[in-house]
Chain A
Amino acid sequence: MGASLAPYMMKLPVPLQAILSFGLVDESYALTINRINSSGYSALYQLGCSLTLYITWAISTAVGVVAGSYIDDPLQWGLDFAMPATFLVLLIPRLVDKQSLVVCGIAAVTAVLGAMYLPGKWYIIIACLLASAIGGMMEREGVNNHAQ
């Protein structure tokens, strides 16, 4: 995540980079990347996302600690479905060309196989690296074809 935002964050002053890095989580990353697609990178937008998420997270954790003991099993309500649902909204608008669809397909297959056979969360890293590397290679072929 850090590396893929680096091209945009490089020009910022180092203290701001340090703060933004601190606030970089899956959700703030996804929101920031999406904003780049729609209207360009904004450090202020990223800071706002991170800050809002951070405060919400802290408050929700406190509420969860206090209220959690009254709910026997929060997962049976399916509230954790909010995470994949949010990411779906961010993913689907990105699937506009052949390369993105291929990257998505490879990542899906690799991640599911990885989740079945590998320990821990390694499937995320492996699927991400493999699929994006193949996407990058397709990119170069596409550019070459264009030039010819």
Chain B
Amino acid sequence: MRSEILFIILGMAAVTYLTRFGCLVLFRYTGIPSFLHRWLKHIPTAILTALIMPSLLLPKGYLDLTMQNHYLIAGILAAVIAYKSRNIIATVGLGIMAMITLNWLDKM
């Protein structure tokens, strides 16, 4: 059982590493086509949005647009702070404080 877990970890590590390093090796031989370059330019925006939105709108696995969804409320607040301050520490700090406050209010 233990060695099985170790093999699973090693296997996942290999596959993950391949996705990171594979493109570099491939592009070294082929070069980067210009259509791909235009496409890749938008990947950061797309990937960040795809990571953020579901974690705010579906924190428990289903769509939750009510005031009970603390992630959504704190997320809106964090977005405003992020826009004004452009500062990670301020945004994360105030965002987590908002989360803790909302949880605390809920329990009252």
A and B held together in a complex = yes
**B103 contacts the other chain (Cβ, under 8 Å)?**
yes
Query: Among the listed A2, A26, A139, which residue makes an inter-chain contact with B41, where contact means beta carbons less than 8 Å apart?
Result: A139
B contacts with A: majority SS: helix
Q: What number of B residues sit within 8 Å (CB to CB) of A?
A: 55
With a CB–CB cut-off of 8 A, which chain B residues contact A53?
A: none
Q: Quick check: is A49 within 8 A (CB to CB) of the other chain?
A: no
Assess the A89–B88 pair: CB atoms within 8 A.
yes
Instruction: Scan B53-94; emit 1 where CB is below 8 A from any A CB, else 0.
Output: 111111000110000001100110011001100111001100
Residues of B within 8 A of A59 (CB): none
Contacts A10-B28, A92-B79, A132-B46; A107 near B53 (Cβ below 8 A): yes
Q: Are A30 and B44 in contact (CB under 8 A)?
A: yes
Q: Tell me how many residues of A have a C-beta within 8 Å of chain B.
A: 63
Q: Which residues of the partner chain A approach B21 to less than 8 Å between Cβ atoms?
A: 2, 17-18, 21-22
Residues of B within 8 A of A (CB): 17, 19-24, 27-28, 32, 35-58, 62-63, 70-71, 74-75, 78-79, 82-83, 86-88, 91-92, 95-96, 99-100, 102-103
